[in-house]
Amino acid sequence: MLSRVAENIYWMARYIERAENTARLINVTSNLVLDLPKTVTFEWRNLVDITGYSTLFDENYTAVDDRSVVKFLVGDFRNPGSVIRSLDSARENARTIRDIIPREAWEQINHLCLRCKGNLQLGLSRQGRYDYLRWTILGTQTITGMLAGTMNHDAGYDFLRTGRNLERADMTTRIIDVRSANLLTEQPTDLAPFENIQWMSVLKSLTGYQMYRRTMQVRVRRPDVLKFLFQDKRFPRAFYHAICEVESCLRDLPRNDGPLRLITQLQRMVSDSKPERLSQVELHRFVDELQAHLAEIHNQISATYFSVTLPATP
């Protein structure tokens, strides 16, 4: 498999995942806001901080209300993490590898991208937002399903899953980081229903509420949620699960020594950690460490597989 193609597949998967994550995040937040007591003002800025594009946002928007934040995150082409920009980037990556991915998957990516761009006004309106984002999520899931069901599960598919799961792991840490830091109190004894709703929203941002209930069978509490989201082996959006997926992909690829070493280090680091005991400050530091590791893994994969050169002549 061509290095460039592997790289395109990898990025295509990352962008599709990014679009889906952003769509989920906004939908869940919009829902949460409706349940908050009138005395609490929700900081929409939070969402921008999660994506890491705060500077870009500040440069282009004066108001920090739901309208401008949703516009920035869904429909602003200047924002590399916005839903439509992510889908467009996914499509561009897919376009250069049309000879690799199954035709129907390409058609679906193309269709979803055009549909999201064409109906953008709907996505920006308060009434249309929910539906718009819901079928965006459905669309990305369709692509994922089609690829799983029709693409050869070869090296290309390994790069696809690697990209998707690295992006997913990254998003999970971002959501935990920002949501817990800015919204929530640390005391597990504080049983205000309000706090409960917020932790539920963290889970729901990752579609983890139902799975959390099944797995943990306890009330929604900070220590359990953190343990679940960082360390669960079976929940697809848990950090540990995502990096285990990456590990299994890397095992199938040639010349995998370097990347494998890094990923197993990261696995050990997560399974040895005690996220439930971390204070807010420690949690933030822990997340930083994980993100640095993910970046390092990305760099190692890129160096190993995406930039192959002739051996230096002696």
Partner 1 sequence: MAIRWKEYPTQGLYDELMRGGGRPREAARFLCQYLKRLSEDEIQARKAAAELAIRVMGITFTVYSQQGASIDRAWPFDIIPRIIAKSEWDSIEAGLKQRAQALNMFIDDLYHGQRIIKDNVFPLEILAGSRNFREQCIGINPPLGVWAHICGSDLVRDKNGKVYVLEDNLRVPSGVSYMLENRQVMKRVFPELFQEASILPVDDYPSLLYDCLAAISPRPLAQPEVVVLTPGIYNSAYFEHAYLAQQMGAELVEGRDLVVGDDDCVYMRAVEGLIRVDVIYRRIDDMFLDPEAFDSGSMLGVPGLMRAWKKGNVALANAPGAGVADDKVVYAFVPKMIRYYLDQDAILPNVETYLCADKKQREHVLGHLDKLVVKPANESGGYGMLIGPQATRREREQFAKLIRKDPRNYIAQPLLTLSTAPTLVGDHVEPRHLDLRPFILSGQKTYVTTGGLTRVALKKGSTVVNSSQGGGSKDTWIVDSEGA
Given the rule CB under 8 A, which residues bind partner 1? 1-6, 92, 95-100, 103, 106-107, 110-111, 114, 155, 159, 253-255, 305, 307-310, 313
Inter-CA distances, 112 with 88, 116, 135, 228, 233, Å: 9, 6, 9, 32, 31
If you write DSSP's letter for every residue of 22-54 in order, what string do you get?
HHHHHHHHHHHHHHS-TTPPP-THHHHHHHT-H
Are 160 and 13 contacting, i.e. CB atoms less than 8 angstroms apart? yes
Least separation in angstroms between CB 97 and partner 1: 8
Locate tokens 């050169």: which residue?
309
**For residues 98 and 274, which CB has a smaller minimum distance to partner 1 in the complex?**
98
Nearer to partner 1, 111 or 221 (CB): 111
Nearer to partner 1, 16 or 47 (CB): 16
127 vs 309, beta carbon nearer partner 1: 309
Buried-state track 113-135, b at ≥16 Cβ within 10 A, e below 16 = beebbeebeebeeeeebeebbeb
C-alpha closest to that of 152 among 101, 186, 105, 188: 101
Q: CA–CA separation, 80 vs 87, rounded Å? A: 10
Choose between 209 and 305: whose C-beta lies nearer to partner 1: 305
Q: How far is the CB of 135 from partner 1 (least distance, A)?
A: 16
CB of 141 vs partner 1, minimal distance in Å = 19
Give min distance, CB of 22 to partner 1, in A: 24
In angstroms, give the least distance from the CB of 244 to partner 1: 21
